[in-house]
Structure 1
Amino acid sequence: MGMVSDDGLHEGWLAPVFQDGQRGYGVSGGGIPHDHIAVGPEVQGPDGTWRYPSRPAGEVTSWILVCHCSSSSGSTATWLGPEFVRVPSAALEDLQTRRIHAVDADVQDVFHREDVEAVVADLWRTEHLFTVGTLDDVAAAAAGVAAARARLDGAVAMARHGGASWADIGRATGMSRQSAQERWRTPPPGPRS
């Protein structure tokens, strides 16, 4: 298991990536050799046993930050974040520039290193979770603007029906008579009584 957001809707982790772009699954055990990475869901073999398809850990060239995202409505999505390149020696490792060294036996669990987890968790929060929250705010604000426009259109229609002039409406909305007339002279689409 990787990182889980406070609301439980997001789970992030580092997924191993092979040179051809195939991503590893976050699974170990289950008959996967210790020097291999699972690359797909369990499949049943001809002998009836279940096993994960796998590839040698030595073929992993990088890791990518992945988040499985859910919403309260039940929809799901996958977010892909920055990639961390695998380097051949500890001397070349630099987590701030997203370079990680891991021997084959540690490739699957490199995320569990405290130093790696701290950097990855910070990126996940700042590049994904923070954005998710701000986009929710944008969506809520946009819905508020749409609702306010609908209320304003209805109020203008009622004012005109009640005999208000375009000059009166312009003053009430902070625009000229001509601008008010151009904006609202045609009733908004919708059912008429």
Structure 2
Amino acid sequence: MSWFTEGSDHEGYVVCVFADGMYGAGGKHMQISLMTPDGNTIWENDNEPDSAAWRPPSQVVGWKVACSCEPHRKHVILDELWTRVWDPAEEDLTRRRIYAGGTSSDDATYVSDREDLEPLFIDQWHLHIAPDLHLHTISTLGDQLKKIETQLDDAVAAARADGLSWDKIGRAFGITRQGARKRWDKQATDSTD
């Protein structure tokens, strides 16, 4: 499972962590596809039936949230580790300790599908993408503001063309007559330069 947010060129998801520092994501029944820390998948060699491109879920020691960051053309694996525990009584989500089945279970592969864990993973991912989301919001609102200012300028020009006074225009906008004239009267602005 992965997550996208409008206005963000990021895709968040969970990767499995192995004891030797390798990562894994996706796969097939009882096999997890390996990937390097920079997000490159290690492809299976068709000539080798026991290719090192796959590992069993029993070898997963934890999980991390990862992100494919398109604006930066990079893959990021976030620092916080969710540690695997082997006894359900030891699970403690506040300490990032997750039980994902015994050694014969495939649950470690699908830990991101757990409804109680997904919001916790997404919260971590949101902290990572927050700066880009803020910039997207600023850009979007800036574009909207420019359009509204153009519409306002056109409305004031139309009102003046129909003979409305600076006093009425100023009151409609919530400023003084002098403020309205200073803001929109090109001739008044040009004569004060």
Q: Against the structure 1 CA distance between its residues 7 and 52, is the aligned structure 2 distance closer, same or farther, given a 3 Å change threshold?
A: farther
Q: Distance in 1 between matches of 2:17 and 2:59?
A: 9
Deviation at 1:52, TM superposition (A): 7.9
Partner AA of 1:99 in structure 2? R
Alignment match, 1:35? 30
Runs of 4+ in 1 over 6 A off after TM superposition: none
Q: Distance in 2 between matches of 1:45 and 1:114?
A: 36
SS of the residue corresponding to residue 26 of structure 2 reads: coil
Q: Against the structure 1 CA distance between its residues 19 and 45, is the aligned structure 2 distance closer, same or farther, given a 3 Å change threshold?
A: same
Q: Against the structure 1 CA distance between its residues 52 and 28, is the aligned structure 2 distance closer, same or farther, given a 3 Å change threshold?
A: farther
1:94 aligns with 2:95: no
- In the alignment, structure 2 segments of 5+ residues that lack a partner are 35-40, 140-193
Q: Is the 8 A contact 2:85 2:99 kept in 1?
A: yes
Deviation at 1:96, TM superposition (A): 2.3
Alignment match, 1:60? 60
Equivalenced residues, count: 126
Matches within 5 A, 1:42-57: 42-46=43-47, 53-57=53-57
Q: Distance in 2 between matches of 1:53 and 1:79?
A: 20
Structure number with higher relative contact order (C-alpha < 8 Å, ≥ 6 residues apart)? 2
Deviation at 1:38, TM superposition (A): 1.2
SS of the residue corresponding to residue 128 of structure 1 reads: helix
Partner AA of 2:89 in structure 1? A
Q: Is the 8 A contact 1:96 1:119 kept in 2?
A: no
Q: Distance in 2 between matches of 1:65 and 1:101?
A: 17
Partner AA of 1:91 in structure 2? A
TM-score normalised per structure 1: 0.58
Q: What is the RMSD computed on CA atoms of the aligned residues?
A: 2.4
**Share of identical aligned residues, percent?**
29
